[in-house]
Structure 1
């Protein structure tokens, strides 16, 4: 259970939105470092905390997601990438380490566009498949979508790599909503990520005032639900919104 909670919230916090937003007006900010903290819950009960941190060194960017459910479980995901002049992310590598009680798991992705191949390894199982132009990982996909959202140059789907291949993810924009968190109340864009199963949905509430960072995430999978709610944010803000 703990592994599913952490894996789902990691995915949810790493992927945000992709359809044209309306009802807000703001200048386009360039990608900039930030740190966001969250509280996450399982079936309505608070279980722990999570953080996301984006940093830059030279032309190299690093995006890290961490989550911890007490002493029971933890996960760390790290994405390394660069950004070209058009604002497109060029994926380099992704790695996930998770621990549930005494059990450890890992998964890595290495992007090799020059050889047009992607290598992955999940625990001891290695795999490789064809590289696709614009392929992203679960973490940097959220950043690419946010950059596209700022310029209104958005796609209906994005190619996201996992251990087995590259899958196109589709997002549907719904109504704008006000969301109250312990950090404040924000006008948000509500977006649903569609899954292949009819009883599974992931919903994101994105705040333009916080550079389109998600302030709330909710995932429903049958009778099980997971939640993520902002508790702190340090980074670019738009005070006019």
Structure 2
């Protein structure tokens, strides 16, 4: 069933009113009455004024509606820009933190390579945590994990604002993968201590696998964290 607009309903009502009024005037004053034209003219003027007022009301309502919609669009764009700026800051911070982490990874790898060489030459049987990770390296890795966890949370909370060129699931997957790799690097020494310590050949195989995983993970996360900042900048400019 179609809805009748307020304007249509008003015109129908006025039409019936005029017909009823005209019939009443004829009945009261007679069809030849001299006052009939004056009365009808006054009534029509009144109706015209009412219609004019109604038209002005409709225009005012339309203008108000457009103003509200315009303000709403501005607020939506402002919020999107705010969220994009937040995402951009998160991407930049995460990228800078990981650059520091990468340097420590290479330093740790050099330490482990030297340890393996010494073990083969001198037959070391006892290994210490410091052979695998120094406090400054460990702190850098822990800072990296915390930064990545924070980055993940920001992306998850604002993924609907990510540019269409960026897949949030791939970004989050690469981030979690790097977190896992850093955890492995922090705990690199554990397989080499205790009663069930690995043999050197076993450890070398384990270390090589983790190193390879790190390199692949680094390439993936650089793709999703370093390059896409330009897409966020484009989105920001389009919404200003």
Taking structure 2 as the reference length, the TM-score comes to: 0.26
Higher normalized strand content (fraction of residues): 1
Higher normalized helix content (fraction of residues): 2
